[in-house]
Amino acid sequence: MIRFEQVSKRYPGGHDALHEVTLHIESGELVFLTGHSGAGKSTLLKLISAIERPTSGNIWVNEQNISRIRRSALPFLRRNIGLVFQDHKLLFDRNVIHNVLLPLDIAGFRRHDAFSRARAALDKVGLLDREKSMPVALSGGEQQRLCIARAIVSRPPLLLADEPTGNLDSGYTADIMRIFSEFHRTGTTVIISSHDPSAVPAGRQRIVRLDHGSLAS
């Protein structure tokens, strides 16, 4: 589903965030992306969703080479990806349920269907009783869960979660991980980044470790 071929990313300013990364992730995999702060985890996820472009190398997502994707094709790539942002990117001018409705409005869902879907997503992350609250009234962990609800509401085939457990205590971390593995069991490809190795649940999951922009195995 995702293929990186000798991908390097140098940000303007000369910093090499990724260096010659070659990586293959199968459809339906659950992958943990770990590495120290600044290792390039967010950069790698941004390359997959074409938020950033690689400096060199090629990236395929769903057999589509997105290193040179046209701007007009971006929305249709992104609709197949659920994104949990490290900085949440919630909209503070609307309440919880309307934050979750945004992807459904973009996809053109009917209002009635959209509401029931949004409620189901909020239920999954344990925020159903807060649907009328404004995001400022949520704790850091609740905001993070709201961001997850927004990412999963349109049931995308690929879910990219950037530090989804950064602000959560271990109890909620386990809850969130359960949501992701539930999602994974329904066939979704899931990539979760974390700088904290202890957040990775014990098991036989695939772990991809980055070290100063290069793959470390």
Residues binding Mg ion (CB under 5 A): 42, 86
CB 68 within 8 A of CB 137: no
Identity of the residue numbered 112: H
Nearest to 30 by CA among 195, 186, 192, 217: 192
Q: Does the footprint of ligand ATP cover residue 188 (CB under 6 A)?
A: no
3-state secondary structure of 97: helix
Q: Does the footprint of another protein cover residue 76 (CB under 8 A)?
A: yes
Q: Does the footprint of another protein cover residue 49 (CB under 8 A)?
A: yes
35 binds, among Mg ion, ligand ATP, another protein, none (CB under 5 to 8 A by kind): ligand ATP
Give the DSSP H or E segment for 115.
helix 111-124
Between 41 and 117, whose beta carbon lies closer to ligand ATP? 41
Of the candidates 31, 34, 40, 165, which one interacts with ligand ATP according to CB under 6 A?
A: 40
Give the DSSP H or E segment for 167.
none
In whole angstroms, the minimum distance from the beta carbon of 43 to ligand ATP comes to 3
* Cross-strand partners of 192: 32, 161
Query: Could you list the residues that contact ligand ATP (CB under 6 A)?
Result: 11, 13, 15, 17, 35, 37-43, 86, 195
